[in-house]
Amino acid sequence: MLNIVEICRRIKTGPTMDAESFDLDVVFANLRTVCEKHNIVYDPNTPVPSDDDLADRVFQAAVEFVEATGFWCPDTHTVAQFTADEVLAAVRDSRGRCVMGEGKDRYEWTPRRPDSDTPPWFHVGTGIFVSDEKIAFNLVKAYSGIRQANSISCPAIGAVDGEPVLSGTPLEILAAIRGVQISRNASREAGRPGLAIGNSISTAGTSMATIAASVPQFGLRKSDGWLVGALAEMKYNFAALNKATYLNSWGANVCGESGVLVGGYGGGPAAIAVLNTAYVLLGRLVLNADYHLVFPVHVTRGCSTPRDCLWPTAVSCQAISRNTRELVWSLGYIAAGPMTKQFFYESAAYIAAAIPSGLSAQTTHPAKAVLTDHVTPMEMRGAVELIEACTGMSRSQGNDLALELLTKYEDNIDTASVGCRYQDCFDIATGKPSAEYVNLYGEVKEELRAMGFAYKS
């Protein structure tokens, strides 16, 4: 396994290149080459394939792509390069397990395979911004109260005492600390004080704020998990590497985070399947990641549920789960917002692509995760119940369900309702949903049950 000293040496000695040349002449060109070599072709009529050979070809293409591409560091304008043997050694040396949480809420996460009835890891919640600390508290308390939750995400705090939080300022550090403290108190009140926070730290946009707010006296523990994000595409800056270095030196859980852009410099669905797989390999090699968060998003539509996003999600999930022991959450960004039936249709399609393909999942994010307060516990509960329903489902069944669901929402993605804010469909004082939302969820759940989702309750 390469250490950070060697990674820095590769950055220092790698070839110099500007960003545009790297994007076009390296990333785009290399993806096209490996897709042609391994005959990786997108099939829009099969959003959830059951082709093991395709999955294995995608994995091999991803290894070759990482070897040919490396990653670009924007701070030095150089490319760090690696061999295929180094990539495969990192995968071979994978721990294949991650322990998160404390006490009664301590869980061990292990790998899954396609078509498996092995329970996935349930990561519940979002890092969507909220306008009020009471809303943040209510959300985390509700997430912690979901029985299946193995870990949670905490919302991002947008203001401190009414003052907007700006990145790189003292308020960012203060808001990051406050967000951790609110979340710990909320989980404690829900009776689950040891539950791991898996998206540390949602409020912190800089490595400085992340490191400052991560010291134990503010509430985080090394059994929580920290997101260390790549830049699109195949780029790591020193800020990300600084975070990874700090966390690995502490022995904390590191999450390699990546959101590939379908239709961006990576290209179309076939190339994106390779690129999404490559990010998991790179996260293991460069960050020494314990687990990964991947979320393919359409570059112009801003969500993960068009069929040209479902296919690369499913194929890359299968490539990873068949050929590695890496632990991965696949996260879907949904076009529709809270208190809309379309949110649950889109979520069901995404989860039917990811879970039968062998990975775990984070609960889907409403309204493209870009609108303040547009998230409630009801969407998280719905996603958890769908993840349960898809556990043990075959890829063929997932494909049939995805095709049926696409007929319900595919033509409405670009005009999807953003739905309601938390305060419009939940009571802030009690944390309870409106009767209207309870009834809507009951209706859509019965629709999905009739369609073939085997709900456990």
Per-residue pLDDT in tens (0 to 9) along the chain, 457 residues:
799 999 999 999 999 999 999 999 999 999 999 999 999 999 999 999 999 999 999 999 999 999 999 999 999 999 999 999 999 999 999 999 999 999 999 999 999 999 999 999 999 999 999 999 999 999 999 999 999 999 999 999 999 999 999 999 999 999 999 999 999 999 999 999 999 999 999 999 899 999 999 999 999 999 999 999 999 999 999 999 999 999 999 999 999 999 999 999 899 999 999 999 999 999 999 999 999 999 999 999 999 999 999 999 999 999 999 999 999 999 999 999 999 999 999 999 999 999 999 999 899 999 999 999 999 999 999 999 999 999 999 999 999 999 999 999 999 999 999 999 999 999 999 999 999 999 999 999 999 999 999 999 8
pLDDT at 362: 94
pLDDT at 457: 82
Q: Which amino acid is at 244?
A: A
* Residues 200, 253: Cα–Cα separation, whole Å: 10
Contact 228, 244 (CB under 8 A): yes
**Pairing relationship of beta strands 291-294 and 122-124 according to DSSP bridges:** unpaired
pLDDT at 292: 97
Contacting residues for 415 by C-beta, under 8 A, at least 6 apart:
none
Contact 435, 335 (CB under 8 A): no
Would you state the structure tokens that stand for residue 200, as one six-digit string?
Answer: 């540390």
Would you state the structure tokens that stand for residue 81, as one six-digit string?
Answer: 């390069």
pLDDT at 305: 98
Q: Residue 137: which of 363, 383, 430 has the closest Cα? A: 430
Q: Which CATH number fits domain 98-122+223-451: 3.30.160.20, 3.10.129.10, 3.20.20.460, 1.10.3720.10?
A: 3.20.20.460
**What phi-psi label fits residue 399: left (phi over 0), alpha (psi between -120 and 50 degrees) or beta?**
alpha
Q: Where are the domains of the chain?
A: 98-122+223-451
* Residues 118, 266: Cα–Cα separation, whole Å: 32
Q: Residue 58: which of 312, 266, 429 has the closest Cα? A: 312
Q: How many helices (H) and strands (E) does the chain have?
A: 16, 18
* Residues 203, 226: Cα–Cα separation, whole Å: 12
pLDDT at 174: 95
Q: Exposed, middle or buried, 24 (CB in 10 Å: 0-12/13-18/19+)?
A: exposed
